[in-house]
Amino acid sequence: MELVALCDRDPEKAARVAQKFGDPARRTAASTTCSPTTTIDAVDICTPNFLHAPMAIAALEAGKHVLCERPLARSARRGGGDGEGARRRRTALLMCAVQHRFRPDAQLLRTFVAKGDLGEIFLRQGRLAAPAHRVGLRRVAAQKRESGGGVVLDLGFQMLDLSLWMLGGPKVESVTASVHRSRKGEVEDSATAFLRLELGRDARRSS
């Protein structure tokens, strides 16, 4: 991969990152605005949540492949586009940055589950925690309008994706959940959820 352009609202930060990770021979462009050009094949979107969907749609409609940080949108309703735009986006690929799927231990465990080496799976537990400064206390992450939510969209997204992917992508029949929000923030600081999955009649009876 070759980094040819980098965009950030902080021009000094953009210049430092471009100098560190860019190609000195090509003088990687760093600016506060970035428009799709013929020299760009793919776009990596690492912006706050509320910008993910509009930026991804714009890049896809320009024919650029997109790797977008999680979540793709603040809600399912905000993640779509018009019909014509959807047809144009078929020429490019969109991928959500669910990096835990590519961990060697996760891929090995998924192989064991698929082969039945672990027997019948009827319960999968997962937990993910982060320091307080990362969850709900950052300026952007703590604003519901920009983030769309707290730990559910940040950390919970990763745990849900990894769990469902490891089990082969079963449908979710029902969800029971609770969240906690401190008085300082607009979004939840912690969340607990129990998902009942559709794993077949035999699996439902045994559970």
Total number of domains constituting the chain: 2
Instruction: Answer for the pair 50, 148: CB distance below 8 angstroms, yes or no.
Output: yes
Of 96, 123, 155, the residue at which a domain comes to its end is 96
Q: pTM for the complete prediction? A: 0.79
Closest residue by Cα to residue 182 from 170, 190, 194, 174? 190
Instruction: Answer for the pair 62, 37: CB distance below 8 angstroms, yes or no.
Output: no
User: CA 74, CA 153: separation in Å to the nearest integer?
Assistant: 8
User: CA 94, CA 104: separation in Å to the nearest integer?
Assistant: 23
Judge if 73 and 168 occupy the same domain: no
User: CA 53, CA 47: separation in Å to the nearest integer?
Assistant: 10
Closest residue by Cα to residue 47 from 69, 66, 16? 69
Domain with residue 108: its CATH number is 3.30.360.10
Domain limits at 77? 5-96
Of 96, 111, 139, the residue at which a domain comes to its end is 96
Domain with residue 48: its CATH number is 3.40.50.720
- Please give the C-alpha separations between residue 56 and each of 1, 26, 62, 90, 169, in angstroms, as whole numbers: 19, 25, 10, 13, 24
> Over its length of 207 residues, how does the chain's per-residue pLDDT go in tens digits?
888 888 888 888 888 888 888 876 667 788 877 776 778 899 999 998 999 999 999 999 889 999 999 999 988 776 655 445 555 556 799 999 999 999 999 999 999 999 999 998 888 888 887 766 554 445 666 788 888 888 888 888 898 999 999 999 999 999 999 999 887 778 888 899 999 998 754 443 333
